[in-house]
A and B are shown apart, each in its own frame.
Chain A
Amino acid sequence: MLNFNSPIKEEKKYNDLNIIEVEPIIKINLRSNKREFSTKIGKILSILPPNEANTSSGNEKFNLLWLSSDEWLIYSNDKEMSLDDQTNLEDKLFNEISKLNQGAVTNVSDHWVMINLNGNKVYDLLSKSCPYNFNDFKNKKGSVAQTIVNRIDVILHHKEDDNLNLFVRRSFSEDLWLWINDSARFI
């Protein structure tokens, strides 16, 4: 990963709402429409890529999010994962998938910023500027949604009740962070 300076430097706490950036964690984008792909991912990560739309699969170490019928995002739960382990994982995936023409593996750790939102008011906050209907999302653990918040593309991953991870592109992260904090004052 690059030695970047994050635009988000603090944890914010409001009534029934906590917001914090979670970094550094490895994020890897996977694309494939080959049959052997799922088996290979299963062997390497011990998780099978979800085929059902708007869902995720995961274990203690990793989460695998459905982004499209041929696209997935892996992210690590472990902030302490060493740089060597991250490089090994990426190399292993690259050698088993990209090199054998089974799909594409791209390290997007520095592309996405992950913000954790938790508290009773999470959905009140997002609903201020998001067209997505959260009724099913908030009742189903592991749900995934790609949508827009304040006209910025985001990926939402439901971790637990009232606790979700939001992925936003790095270049938009400061703008979204400011919007979230501004809006959180009024809920």
Chain B
Amino acid sequence: MFIINCPYCGERDQSEFSCGGEAHIERPKQPTELSDDQWAEYLFMRKNIKGIQFERWNHIHGCRKWFNVVRDTSNDKIHAVYKMGERPPIK
């Protein structure tokens, strides 16, 4: 269990949130021109990093807003939280 600082509501327990998986995956500009393998790569393949990962989270039991989190998956330490559409504060 850990605390997430929702950019809209403030600090809340992790149980109020839902993780939406890896962030910053761009949708292909011309999906119809992709092969099945390329489409499957976009849809299903994720990095699943042990270490610092960029993720999307939703405050599902609160304001119901989506935002991005930079989390270390090995120890659940959160390095940054930023709103959708904003640039990651760390690389």
A residues sitting closer than 8 Å to B (CB atoms) are 53-54, 67-69, 71, 131-133, 146-148, 153
Docked-complex contact A133 and B11, CB < 8 angstroms: yes
Residues of chain B within 8 A of A54, CB atoms compared: 9-10
Contacts of B15 in A (CB 8 A): 131, 148
User: Which of B9, B13, B16 contacts A53, CB < 8 Å?
Assistant: B9
Q: Which of A53, A69, A133, A147 contacts B61 (CB 8 A)?
A: A147
Identify the 4 closest CB pairs spanning chains A and B, nearest first: A131-B13, A68-B63, A146-B62, A148-B61
In the complex with contacts A68-B63, A148-B61, A131-B12 CB distance below 8 A: yes
CB proximity of A178 to chain B, nearest CB, Å: 20
- Which of B8, B13, B64 sits near A132, CB closer than 8 Å? B13
- For the complex formed, measure the closest distance between the CB of A179 and the CB atoms of chain B, giving whole angstroms: 16
Whether B12 pairs with A67 at a CB distance below 8 angstroms is: no
Closest beta carbon of chain B to A151's beta carbon, Å: 8
CB-CB under 8 A from A148, the residues of chain B are: 15-16, 61
Q: B65 within 8 Å of A by Cβ? A: yes
